[in-house]
Amino acid sequence: MLLPDFITRHVLFAMVFGGVAGIGFMVFLIEFDHYTSSEAFCTTCHSMELAAEPYRQSSHYLPVSGVRASCGDCHVSPGVFAATWDHFVGGKDLFRQIFGADYDDPVINALHLPEAAFSARDWFRRNDSHTCRRCHEQEAIVGKRADTLEIHQQDAKDKTCVDCHINLVHRPVPERATYKRDAWNRMVEQQFGLEAGSAERLLAE
Amino acid sequence: MPPNLRCLLVVLSLLSGTAWGAKVSLTPDNWGHPAGEDCVSCHTKSSAGIAGQWKESAHARAGVNCMDCHQAEVGDADAITHEGQTIATVVSPKDCGRCHTTEMEQQRGSVHAEAVAVIAERMPAMVNNVAGPAIEAAGCAQCHGSEVNLMANGKLDPNTWPNSGIGRINPDGSRGSCSSCHGRHLFSKAQAREPQACVRCHSGPDSPDKEVFEASKHGMAFMANREKMNLDGETWVAGKDYSAAPTCATCHMGAAGKLPSTHDVGMRNAWNLNTPVSERQYLVVFDDGGKRELPESMSAPRPGSRVPKLDGTEAAVKMVATPQRRRDAMTLVCRECHGKDFANAFMTQFDEVVHLYNEKFGKPAQAIMQDLYSQKKLTPAPFDEPIEFTYWELWHDEGARARHGASMASPNHAWWEGMYVVGRNFYSRFLPQVREVAGSDAAGILERHLGSVEQHQWLKAPEKGSPILGVGNPRGGNE
């Protein structure tokens, strides 16, 4: 076998090792993204268990078709590099989980939920709802009612999925523009039997 | 024109506004919101029914679109974000009043707008004792109105909505629901002028106005001549635009001759008829546009004096319409078809039935009940003793039926469905139950309250017979 002169034994060794290591790294990333996108991984933080409760009642968890969307199917971008980046950025949530407010407390969690929802919606809009489009092909949305197809092809043409479809999975939160913090606080207080004004105190802590 | 009639018309004009549904005075550049086209495009597909109704409406012809009525400000209590627009699902009188100002101002403070306050004292016992909270949303509030609440999650509270009760308390603080009578999204004039517009609430045992109207000569004339009623007319003045028959709207709201129309539906009512004892009522108009009624037995408040409103706050009195003025206004409607003597004599017949109910049944029954409570023969809780249902139905259902029957000329409801049932109840249920709960004190209580009522004296002559029951008919008839 004839090899160019510069392919010395060491170079050959480095190429083979590098190649195998590279493949191994990619496999690791894929497996890492896959595992860290799973419901089992996400809910290892108790705060995420609170987000998962309504999810398990939703049509994305219990669809007629049986096609179940996991956390990452919606919240992690397609593509291994984008997915890895999303997990890297998501690391700030882990930081906050450890050093931030006590999100494991259902009251604190509910009080902070609107901001989490707004930021998730921003992310969906920024990405033209690309994770929705993993499964839902706008051209193919026929629906059960006569005009669903027409609406999705005409009126929704320049819109992104979350412009119309929000509050499908998690606890409903109004859109940011018309959301009222005061009303939200009172609702949480009422839900947990807290006295009026305690929400503001808890948020300030 | 006689001076007192002229004076009446001045008062009525101040109370009412113009001669018929006021022309909207805004120019069309106040409506036609640019985002409205998108609403129509999508809703034509997603909810073709309401879009279709709107397309046939005068609103659509004038270029008034979804956003013109549904637009909201971000800070509004019920504002939501929908397809990028800030809107409110509930359209309140305040929203309609952006263009229909006269109607909104007339409606404000009317017995319709205050329909929640009117029953505020009765609701808790009905909802908490007799039924349960579910009936408030599906029953009471569907006619009287709910206090609509947008939950913090951006959805309307199903305990308070859907609701188009006439006295609905809206998130913007206004009271009423125009769509109660002007069904959305067609908002047809003709539909609001139909007797059917009122039937959803003005029917049934306690307010059988549908049944009363249908059984009256007025109802008969309406059904026989419906096509002559000009229900679609641009103006609708009784005696000018139509004369075949009156509908509910004709007498209670409509323009007639020189009498202006009004969206204060109770303005022409001299009596309150849905109370244990009827009394003629002043209509007090406050300088902030609010209104309330006060019984004739009180002296009329002077203009400028401060009087509590129904919600408890005080306001300065702008003017007071006496019960007679209110009656005169109603009589002006009659006069488009009937002579003065006819109309006045009809009112006398009506008033006599109210007096009969009051003096023979209403006042004595109320006084007897007060005695039973003060002597602790009954517990203070309503509806835990049979006599409380008996008494409630005596005035709230049967007594109201008799009075409404006489007020709108249905002989059947004045008598067989009304005063006859009052009498039957009074003699065969109420008095026996009084004797039962009061025991040995019954004779004293009954003598105190019935002893001097002339029309109960026949009870003291039990030996005086009559062939009415058909027992031992002395003439041997074939009945």
Examine residue B264 and state whether it is found in any structural domain, yes or no.
yes
pLDDT of res. B251? 98
Examine residue B220 and state whether it is found in any structural domain, yes or no.
no
Examine residue A191 and state whether it is found in any structural domain, yes or no.
yes
User: Using a CB-CB distance cutoff of 8 angstroms, which residues of chain B are in contact with residue A150?
Assistant: 45
Q: How many Å lie between the alpha carbon of B172 and the closest alpha carbon of chain A?
A: 15
Helix axes B363-374, B442-450, angle to 10 degrees: 150
Question: Is residue B316 domain-shared with residue B374, that is, in the same domain?
Answer: no
Among B153, B155, B156, most A C-beta atoms within 10 A, so best to mutate, is: B153
Question: Is residue B313 domain-shared with residue B324, that is, in the same domain?
Answer: yes
Interface of A with B (CB under 8 A): 145-147, 150-151, 154-155, 159, 163-164, 167, 171-180, 183-184, 186-188
Question: Is residue B246 domain-shared with residue B231, that is, in the same domain?
Answer: yes
Q: How many Å lie between the alpha carbon of B114 and the closest alpha carbon of chain A?
A: 27
User: Using a CB-CB distance cutoff of 8 angstroms, which residues of chain B are in contact with residue A177?
Assistant: 74, 81, 86
Nearest Cβ partner for B80 among A147, A154, A178:
A178
Question: Is residue B47 domain-shared with residue B74, that is, in the same domain?
Answer: yes
- Contact yes or no for B86 and A173 at CB 8 A: no
Amino acid in position B38: D
ipTM reported for the complex, 2 dp? 0.85
Which residues of chain A register pLDDT less than 50? none
- Contact yes or no for A173 and B42 at CB 8 A: no
Rg (CA), chain A: 23
* Residue listed under structure tokens 């050959």: A12
Q: Which residues contact B458 (CB under 8 A, 6 or more apart)?
A: B464
Query: What whole-number distance in Å separates Cα of residue A63 and Cα of residue A42?
Result: 21
Q: Which of B89, B109, B135 is the last residue of a domain?
A: B89
- Contact yes or no for B86 and A154 at CB 8 A: no
What CATH code is carried by the domain that includes residue A153? 1.10.3820.10
Expressed as residue numbers, the domain containing A44 is 10-204
User: Using a CB-CB distance cutoff of 8 angstroms, which residues of chain B are in contact with residue A181?
Assistant: none
Number of domains forming the structure of chain A: 1
User: Using a CB-CB distance cutoff of 8 angstroms, which residues of chain A are in contact with residue B79?
Assistant: 178
Q: How many Å lie between the alpha carbon of B84 and the closest alpha carbon of chain A?
A: 7
Number of domains forming the structure of chain B: 3
Among B301, B258, B254, B260, which residue's Cα sits nearest to residue B281? B301
User: Using a CB-CB distance cutoff of 8 angstroms, which residues of chain B are in contact with residue A151?
Assistant: 42, 45-46
Examine residue A4 and state whether it is found in any structural domain, yes or no.
no
Q: Counting Cβ atoms within 10 Å, is residue B96 exposed (0-12), middle (13-18) or buried (19+)?
A: buried
Question: Is residue B84 domain-shared with residue B71, that is, in the same domain?
Answer: yes
Examine residue A1 and state whether it is found in any structural domain, yes or no.
no
User: Using a CB-CB distance cutoff of 8 angstroms, which residues of chain A are in contact with residue B83?
Assistant: 159, 163-164
Examine residue B391 and state whether it is found in any structural domain, yes or no.
yes
Examine residue B431 and state whether it is found in any structural domain, yes or no.
yes
**Encoding tokens for residue A60?**
């994305």
Query: What whole-number distance in Å separates Cα of residue B77 and Cα of residue A138?
Result: 35
pLDDT along chain B (479 residues), means of 10: 58 52 76 94 94 97 96 95 95 96 94 93 92 94 96 95 97 96 95 96 95 98 97 96 98 96 96 97 93 93 93 92 97 97 98 98 98 98 97 98 98 98 98 98 97 95 90 59
Expressed as residue numbers, the domain containing B354 is 342-457
Query: What whole-number distance in Å separates Cα of residue B295 and Cα of residue B284?
Result: 10
Look at chain B and count its residues: 479
Chain A residue whose CA is closest to B73: A178
Examine residue B96 and state whether it is found in any structural domain, yes or no.
no
Q: How many Å lie between the alpha carbon of A143 and the closest alpha carbon of chain B?
A: 12
* Cβ density class B68-77: b for 16+ within 10 Å, e for less: bbbbbeeebe
pLDDT of res. B289? 86
**pLDDT tens, residue by residue, B80-94:** 999 999 999 999 999
Question: Is residue B319 domain-shared with residue B233, that is, in the same domain?
Answer: yes
* CA angle (B426, B122, B367) in 5-degree steps: 35
Asked whether the CA dihedral B353, B116, B266, B303 is positive or negative, the reply is: positive
Question: Is residue B331 domain-shared with residue B396, that is, in the same domain?
Answer: no
B172 neighbors B157 (Cβ within 8 angstroms):
no
Nearest Cβ partner for B80 among A145, A163, A174:
A174
pLDDT of res. B82? 95
Chain A residue whose CA is closest to B78: A178
pLDDT of res. B427? 98
Interface of B with A (CB under 8 A): 38, 41-42, 45-46, 48, 74, 79-81, 83-84, 86, 150-155
Examine residue B266 and state whether it is found in any structural domain, yes or no.
yes
Among B39, B44, B46, most A C-beta atoms within 10 A, so best to mutate, is: B46
Question: A with B: how many residue pairs have Cβ under 8 Å apart?
Answer: 55
Examine residue A65 and state whether it is found in any structural domain, yes or no.
yes
Examine residue B113 and state whether it is found in any structural domain, yes or no.
no
Coil/strand/helix, residue B474: coil
Question: Is residue B370 domain-shared with residue B436, that is, in the same domain?
Answer: yes
Examine residue A5 and state whether it is found in any structural domain, yes or no.
no
**pLDDT tens, residue by residue, B319-340:** 999 999 999 999 999 999 999 9
Query: What whole-number distance in Å separates Cα of residue B198 and Cα of residue B22?
Result: 21
Q: Which of B47, B69, B89 is the last residue of a domain?
A: B89
Examine residue B178 and state whether it is found in any structural domain, yes or no.
no
Question: Is residue B349 domain-shared with residue B333, that is, in the same domain?
Answer: no
Q: Which of B337, B353, B383 is the last residue of a domain?
A: B337
